[in-house]
Structure 1
Amino acid sequence: MEVFLLLMALGMVSSFIGTLAGGGGIITLPAMMLIGIPIQYGIATNKFSSGIASFTSIIYILKNKIFTVKALLPVVIISVLGGIVGAIATTSVSEQTMNVTALVLLAFALFVTIRNKKWVAEVKEKSFNQKPGFFSKLIPFFIGIYDGGFGPGSATFSIIHYMREQFSYVQSAQLSRVLNFGSCVGAFVIFYQTGYINWHYAIALAIGSALGTQIGLLALPKIPLKVARTLLISIICMLIGQVVVKTF
C-alpha cells in the first residue's frame, strides 16, 4: 500500500511538471529505480501511465473545444507510428547511442529556446486551419520515435516544435500531451509483448499521472510566459545534466 501511494504521488508531481514544460521523466524513472522497480518494468509502466494521463488531456482539450477531433487525429496517428518504431528500435540501438543522441538534441533545444525570445513577448494564437508543411508533419513522427524508444525531453521537444510553428505556449503544451499519448500507445503495444508490466505499479502511477496532468492543464493559462520560458530552460538543463551523468 505504501508503494502504491508513493507511486501515485510520484505520478502526480512528474505529470504536473511534464505538462507545463516536459521533463517529467527526470523524476519518474530514477525514482522508480530507487524504490526497487527494475528499469524494464519502469519503462513499460511509465509508458502506460503517461498514455493514460495524456488521454485525460485529450478529453480536457476536446471538452473545452480547444482543438477538434479532426485536428488532433493526425497528430495521434503519426505519433503512434513513431512510438512503435521507437520501441522496436530500442532492441537494436545501444543505450549509449541513445544517450548521445539525446544530448545533441537537448543542446540544440536549449540553444533554440534561449535564442528565440519572440514567443515570450508576442504569442500568436493559431489553429490547424493552416496546412502544415511536409517537414512540420515529420517532426512529430521523429519525436514519437524518440519518445517511444527513449523519452527524456520528448514533451519539451514537442512544446518547442509547436511554438516554432507559431502556436501559443499553452496550445503547444496541450499539443505535446496529444503527441505523447500517441507515442506512449505505440510504445506500450511493443513493450507489453515483452511482459515487462506490473499492473499494480502501472495503475498507481496512472492515477497520480492523470491527476497531475489535469492540475497542470488548469495551471497552464495562469503561468506568465516569462516564467514558462524560465521553467522550460531549467527543465532542458536538468535533462542535459541527467543524460551527461548517464553517458559519461
Structure 2
Amino acid sequence: MIFKLLFLCFSGFLAAFVDSIAGGGGLISIPAFLIAGIPPHLALGTNKFCSTTASFTSSLSFAKSGKVNFSILKYFIPFTLIGAILGVNTVLMIDQNKLQSLVLVMILFVGLYSLFSKSIGKEDKFTGLNKKNLILGILLCLCLGFYDGFFGPGTGSFLIFGLISVFGFDFTKAAGNARVLNFTSNITALLIFAFNSQINYYYGIPVALCMIMGAKFGTKLALDKGSKLIKPIFVTMSLAVAGKMILDIIN
C-alpha cells in the first residue's frame, strides 16, 4: 500500500510540474491511478481533485506575473464552466468497463494531436479582441470545457494550442491563460465528481499536496525561461506519450 501511494505521489508531482509548463499532466496522472488499480470513474474523479489544486496554484502564479489577460477571459470562463458541467454528466453515464478502453484511446489521440502542434507560439501576436476571435474563443472554451469534464488529460495542451492559434499568444501567455481556464473547468468538474462520490480521498489528499509542489516548481521555471522552455517540453510530452501508447497497442 505504501509503495502504491509513493508511486502515485511521485507521478502526481511530475504530472503537475509538466502540466503547469505545457499542459498534458493528466497523461501521466490518470494512467498512474489506473495502474494503481483504481477503477476508471474513481481515477478520473480523484485525478480531478488533485489536478484542481495544482491548476489553482499555477493559475495564481501566472496571474501574479501578469501573464493572464482577464479582460478577454471574462468572456470565456462562463462557457468553459458550462462545457465542463455537460462533460462530467456525460462521462458519469458511461459504463465503467467501456470507459477503460475509451480512456486509453483518447490518451493516444491527445498525444498524437499534440505532436502536430509544435511549430507556433514563438512570439506574442495578440492585437485585441474582434468578432472572429471572440466567437472562436467561445467555441474553443465550450468544447474544451466539455472535454475536460468528460475526460481531461491534455486539456492544457489543447488550450495552449487553441489560444495560440486563435489569439496569437506566445507560449508563455497562452500557458498562463490556459491555466486559468483549465482551473475553471477543473473546479466545476470536481464539484460534480464529489457530489457523485467519485473521489478516493485516501490517495487524493497526499497526491494533491505533491501536485501543489510540482505546480509551484513548474510555473516558476516556465516564467523564468518562457517559450524557450515551454515549447520543447510541450513537444517532448507529446512524442513520449504517443510513442508509449503505440507500443502498448502493438504489444
TM-score (norm 2): 0.81
Q: Which residue of 1 aligns with 2:152?
A: 151
Q: Which residue of 2 aligns with 1:133?
A: 134
Q: How does 1:55-94 map to 2 (within 5 A)?
A: 55-67=56-68, 69=70, 71-92=72-93
The change in CA–CA distance for 1:64 and 1:230 in structure 2 (over 3 A counts) is closer
Shift of 1:54: 1.2
Contact 2:69 2:177 in 1 (8 A): no
Q: Which residue of 2 aligns with 1:110?
A: 115
Shift of 1:50: 1.0
Give me the whole-angstrom Cα distance separating, in 1, the residues matched to 2:208 and 2:222.
21
Q: Which residue of 2 aligns with 1:202?
A: 204
The change in CA–CA distance for 1:67 and 1:156 in structure 2 (over 3 A counts) is closer
Q: Choose which of 183, 186, 193 in structure 1 pairs with 2:185.
A: 183
The change in CA–CA distance for 1:42 and 1:66 in structure 2 (over 3 A counts) is same
Cα shift readout 1:101-121 (whole Å, capped 9, x = no counterpart): 66556544433x24xx3533x
The change in CA–CA distance for 1:184 and 1:243 in structure 2 (over 3 A counts) is farther
Q: Which moved more, 1:33-42 or 1:81-90?
A: 33-42
Q: Which residue of 1 aligns with 2:223?
A: 221
The change in CA–CA distance for 1:224 and 1:184 in structure 2 (over 3 A counts) is closer
Structure 1: which 5+ residue stretches go unaligned?
A: none
CA RMSD across the alignment: 2.9
Shift of 1:187: 1.6
Partner secondary structure for residue 66 of structure 1: coil
Shift of 1:245: 6.4
Give me the whole-angstrom Cα distance separating, in 2, the residues matched to 1:182 and 1:192.
16
Shift of 1:4: 5.0
Q: Which residue of 2 aligns with 1:10?
A: 11
Q: How many residues align?
A: 242
Contact 1:46 1:202 in 2 (8 A): yes
Contact 1:5 1:204 in 2 (8 A): no
The change in CA–CA distance for 1:157 and 1:246 in structure 2 (over 3 A counts) is farther
Give me the whole-angstrom Cα distance separating, in 2, the residues matched to 1:221 and 1:63.
11
The change in CA–CA distance for 1:235 and 1:203 in structure 2 (over 3 A counts) is same
Contact 2:80 2:141 in 1 (8 A): yes
The change in CA–CA distance for 1:31 and 1:118 in structure 2 (over 3 A counts) is closer
Letter in 1 for 2:124: K
The change in CA–CA distance for 1:118 and 1:173 in structure 2 (over 3 A counts) is closer
The change in CA–CA distance for 1:247 and 1:133 in structure 2 (over 3 A counts) is farther
Structure 2: which 5+ residue stretches go unaligned?
A: none
